[in-house]
Every structure is written in structure tokens, then in C-alpha cells.
Amino acid sequence: MLRIACPYCGLRDEVEFRFGGPAHVARPGFEVDDATWADYLFVRENPAGLNFERWCHAYGCGSWFNLVRNTLTHEILLAYRMDSPKPALRT
Amino acid sequence: MQRYSFPNLLWQALRGNKGWRPVWREPRLKKSYDVVVIGAGGHGLAAAYYLARKHGIRNVAVLERGWIGGGNSGRNTQVTRSNYFHPVSSSFYDHSLRLYEGLGSELNFNIMLSQRGLIQLAHSEHELEIIRRWCNANRMNKVDSEILSPAEIKRLAPPINLCARFPIIGGFIQRRAGISRHDAVVWGYARAASALGVDIVQNCEATGFEIAGDRVRGVHTINGSVSAPRVLMCVAGYSSHMGSLAGLRLPITTMALQAMVTEPVKPVLNVVINSATVHAYLSQSDRGEIVIGGGADIYNSYAQRGGLSQQRAVISAVLELFPSFSRLRLMRQWAGRVDITPDTSPLMGLTPVAGLYINCGWGTGGYKAIPAGGDTMAYTVANDRAHSLIESFSLARFARGALIDEGAAAGVAH
């Protein structure tokens, strides 16, 4: 069971949260070609190591936030607001 | 290859069983091969076997980072079925089931296939409607499928609780579906491939590709480089990583899917049960353990261990269906790294790098596809052209929007 520090509510159990996939994926404009659009919609970095991801404290405050988590060890390094820039951590 | 037969068993027994030899060779990695397969799970070994047997390509190496069948091939719940919804899926998976039906005798290795039937439960009128549609689609695709009443389900699975929190109001069965022994499938293919000349090299991690222009020339490994004009990647949860070494960007997310077994008990359940609503599936192995699976953990993971919250959800779902199992102790619990695609259908075929082929994206259901995955990928590698059964599963389908959404259509459990 992960223990996740919601930036608004503090440390809570995993079951209160919903996973929202990768963070910092920039949506391209509508003028791009199909390959670029498919890349945006479907391709995932899927790293073995540090992952920048979105979570929602669904059964708590309801807020979305970003998390840096290691997908090999499940260690959580950092939680930060969604409107913050991507933290400069070595991946 | 020493064949397994009654006279041979008797002969070996009379000699004190001292005459058995290892069933596959442990060769040293050569400098070059016609085909290198990365990943010695079921899919990689099956592809190597069919390359050697059906296409005469025997100068093949299968590289494995750990030991054969130590990844998802040894971590699944052993279910084989072909009751998918879309015609492209059901024709592929039914080809696989038909190969499974003859596999024991073809490989001369008992894979313990037991076609005991798989029941998909319906817990509401809406689900029953969808199941009727699904069942009819199966029959249109020539896959056996029958609607069952609650009484028929109770007769096939006596310990089931029809009046649970989500009551069981019907279901459907594919009688040709069932379970087999996953290790035997891996070992059977390895033994047969090795006998045909395929080199299976364990503890040999692939670390990169040799690519000249847009064509693959070989593979780098921790034991040196190997040149090969054709390379097939069958690395499941590590596909994104391995693909990135060849410059590929794949629509794959790696997650942990866990499974567990109880202590062994006498035969109580002679059918595979699957529920999409409470999200659990279970069967009883030949050793007597109740083998249990459910949904994947909700977040990306390469850890090969499942989270307790998902485990609790799966166990409570199973105990709703089978209250008497609450007295069984759980013996083991584990997880595999599953490679999930956005449409829950596999990713197979050619890649933008000439000579590099991929077979991945099986998500939570790759075991049932091993024979057909191997067969069609062997054809694809041998002819540099996608086999007709897998044309729709290409990487190019995402940019075209031609998704095969089995998650929505047939409740594929991702």
C-alpha cells in the first residue's frame, strides 16, 4: 500500500487516490499530422525509474496534483502542484 | 532429444532413472545468427520453435536476461480461451487455442491442457444483455459459446454463491476454454526448439541494438555483440525500454498484475470463473490450489510485486462469489510486469526499423496467445511481412485510429 502525501491534506493511504497517468504531456495544436497526434494520445514514456505522474485525491479533498515516484522501488520523492514546472530531478 | 513415451519411461525406470539428460542445451553465444529473439518467455521461445520447424530457420538465438519463463510466462493464471468480441481478435485467439489443443503431442511434452470451460458471469440485466451480444458475436466468429442460467452455473460450480451482493443472474460459457500448465508450455517449446538447433542463452541481457541507416544489424549483450539481420523483441513489460534503444516510441504502460494461490484442497471447482463486475477470476489447479487473479494495480510499476489494496479488492470479490473459500489460507502472492496498450489489444509485426520486429502489448492476457503469437511472428520474421492474422495488430493502427478495443467489447481485464 502506497502512502501518498497529498500537498493539501498530508499523508494518506493509496485507496483514497486515483491515478491519472503521466504529467507534463503537452497537447499539440490541431494543425499537426496524424502521427504527432497519435504520439500525443497514445505513446507513453513508461520509464523504469523516476516517473512524473498525476494523482487525484478523489476520496479526500478532490484536488489533482503531481507526484514523482520510482516505478522500480515505489519510492515517492516529491508531490507538487499541477501548475508548477517539472522539477529538475535526475531520471 | 529423448522422447517421452511409455517404453522410454519404463526403460529409464529400470536403469534407476540415471539415463535422463538435460532437455535443452546450454550453448555459448555465437558471433552471428540468422535471427536473434530477445526474451525467452513463452512468446519468444514459441517464435524460435516455429522459425525452426515451419520455416527452416535454425540458426536462431533466444536471449534471456534471467532464466526461461521467469517473467510473465511463469506468473500468469494459466487460462486459455478465445471468446473475444472483434473478428480479428477471435480468429487470432482461436488459432491459438487450436494450437494449444494439439501442443502436447506436437512438442511431446504434457502441457496438462484441461478444457474444463470458462464461465463469464453476469450480475445485472445490463450485463446479461451485453453478454448475449458477446456470446452471439462469438458464435458468428465460429467460437463455441453458450448462455447459461443461474441453475446451470450452480451445477457446474457447486460452491458458488448466486445471491451475493451483486447477484448472479446468468452468464455464458466457452467449453473449449480452460487451463494448462504454464511452465510446461515454456519448457516444451524450449526443449523442442533446442532440439531443432535453436540456441537458448540464459543470463544474457540485451543492452542495445546495432543499427545502420534504418536497418538492424545486430544486438549488444552483456556477453558481447551478436550480428543478426533480423531481430524479434518479445520483452513484455520492458518493451518501452528495449524499444527506446532502437529509437521506437511505443504506446505501452507497464503495470503490476498480481495473482495468488491458496493452500491445496480436494477438487471443488472444475471450471474457470470470471467476473468483470467484481473483477476476479479463479480456477483450481491440478495440485488443488485455488488460483486467483483480478485487476492490475492502478499505477505504473516495474517492481514485480502487487499492492495490498488491489489484493484486498480481489480477495473480497472472490469471497463474495465463494464464501466457503474464506477458510482457506493464502499460500503465495506475486505479480508480473504487464505491458498494457491503450486499446488492450497486442502490438505485433514490423517496426520502422527494417529487420526489427515486435511482439508485445499483451497486457494481462498473453499466456493464451503464446502458440499463435509464436506461429504468426515466426511467419512475419521469415517473410518480412505481417501474417494475415496479425495485420490489424500493427503499431501503425494508432496513427490510423484503427483501434481494436477489446477492453470495451469483451471486458478484457485491464
Q: What domains appear along chain A, each with residue ranges and CATH number?
A: 3-80 (3.30.2270.10)
Q: At what angle do helices B42-55 and B370-383 cross, to 10 degrees?
A: 50
Say whether B303 and A18 touch across the interface (CB within 8 A). no
For residue range A36-65, what is the model confidence (pLDDT) as tens digits? Answer: 999 999 999 999 999 999 999 999 999 999
Residue A3 contacts B, CB cutoff 8 Å: no
> Which pLDDT belongs to residue A23?
96
Tell the residue number behind the cell numbers 540458426, with chain if given.
Answer: B59
Which stretches within B223-327 are classed as H helix?
239-245, 308-321
Q: Which amino acid is at B139?
A: R
Residue B414 has pLDDT above 50, yes or no: no
The CA radius of gyration of chain B, in Å to the nearest whole number, is: 21
**Beta-sheet pairing, B178-179 with B199-201:** unpaired
Percent of chain B with pLDDT over 90: 96
DSSP annotation of B354 reads: B
> Which pLDDT belongs to residue B1?
87
For residue range A7-33, what is the model confidence (pLDDT) as tens digits? Answer: 999 999 999 999 999 999 999 999 999
| Number of continuous H segments (helices) and E segments (strands) in chain A | 1, 6
- All 3 cell numbers of residue B19? 539415463
Tell the residue number behind the cell numbers 520510482, with chain if given.
Answer: A70
Mean per-residue pLDDT of chain B: 96
Mutation choice for B interface testing from A46, A54, A67, A68 by most B CBs within 10 A: A46
| Closest-CA distance of chain A to residue B248, Å | 10
Q: Is the torsion defined by CA of B265, B271, B275, B280 positive or negative?
A: positive
Summarize the confidence of residues B61-73 as an average pLDDT: 97
> Which pLDDT belongs to residue B21?
94
Residue A18 contacts B, CB cutoff 8 Å: yes
Partner residue facing A71 (CB), from B300, B309, B398: B300
Three-state secondary-structure class, residue B374: helix
Partner residue facing A46 (CB), from B240, B398, B400: B240
Helix (H) or strand (E) holding B209: strand B206-212
Distance of alpha carbon B165 from alpha carbon B278, whole angstroms: 10
Mutation choice for A interface testing from B240, B241, B252, B300 by most A CBs within 10 A: B300
For residue range B330-358, what is the model confidence (pLDDT) as tens digits? Answer: 999 999 999 999 999 999 999 999 999 99
For residue range B356-393, what is the model confidence (pLDDT) as tens digits? Answer: 999 999 999 999 999 999 999 999 999 999 999 999 99
Say whether A71 and B309 touch across the interface (CB within 8 A). no
Three-state secondary-structure class, residue B231: strand
Say whether B253 and A44 touch across the interface (CB within 8 A). yes
Backbone angles phi and psi of B25, in degrees to 5: -75, 160
- pTM of the model as a whole: 0.96
Scanning every residue of chain A, which has its alpha carbon at the shortest distance from the alpha carbon of B341?
A42
Which stretches within B297-369 are classed as H helix?
308-321
Residue B202 has pLDDT above 50, yes or no: yes
Helix (H) or strand (E) holding B272: strand B272-275
Bridge partner residues of B255 (DSSP)? B300, B338
Distance of alpha carbon B265 from alpha carbon B388, whole angstroms: 44
| Closest-CA distance of chain B to residue A74, Å | 7
Number of residues in chain A: 91
Summarize the confidence of residues B285-289 as an average pLDDT: 95
Distance of alpha carbon B40 from alpha carbon B62, whole angstroms: 6
Is there a contact between B293 and B273 (Cβ–Cβ < 8 Å)? no
ipTM comes to: 0.95
Three-state secondary-structure class, residue B241: helix
Bridge partner residues of B221 (DSSP)? B206, B224
Q: Which amino acid is at A61?
A: C
Distances (CA, A) of B241 to A48, B238, B266, B347: 7, 5, 44, 15
Say whether A42 and B398 touch across the interface (CB within 8 A). yes
DSSP B261-272: EE---S----SE
Partner residue facing B301 (CB), from A43, A44, A71: A71
Residue B307 contacts A, CB cutoff 8 Å: yes
Percent of chain B with pLDDT over 70: 98
Question: Quick one: pLDDT band at residue B259, thresholds 50, 70, 90?
Answer: very high
Say whether B302 and A15 touch across the interface (CB within 8 A). no
Residue B352 contacts A, CB cutoff 8 Å: no
Nearest partner of B374 among B207, B244, B251, B198, judged by Cα: B198
Nearest partner of B231 among B346, B69, B358, B49, judged by Cα: B358
> Which pLDDT belongs to residue B49?
98
DSSP annotation of A29 reads: P
Residue A16 contacts B, CB cutoff 8 Å: no
Domains of chain B: 28-77+182-252+343-409 (3.50.50.60), 118-175+253-338 (3.30.9.10)
Residue A11's contacts (CB-CB under 8 Å, 6 or more residues apart) are: A3, A4, A5
Partner residue facing B307 (CB), from A14, A53, A73: A14
Scanning every residue of chain B, which has its alpha carbon at the shortest distance from the alpha carbon of A36?
B399
DSSP annotation of B222 reads: T
- All 3 cell numbers of residue B345? 489489444
Bridge partner residues of B227 (DSSP)? B32, B218
> Which pLDDT belongs to residue B116?
97
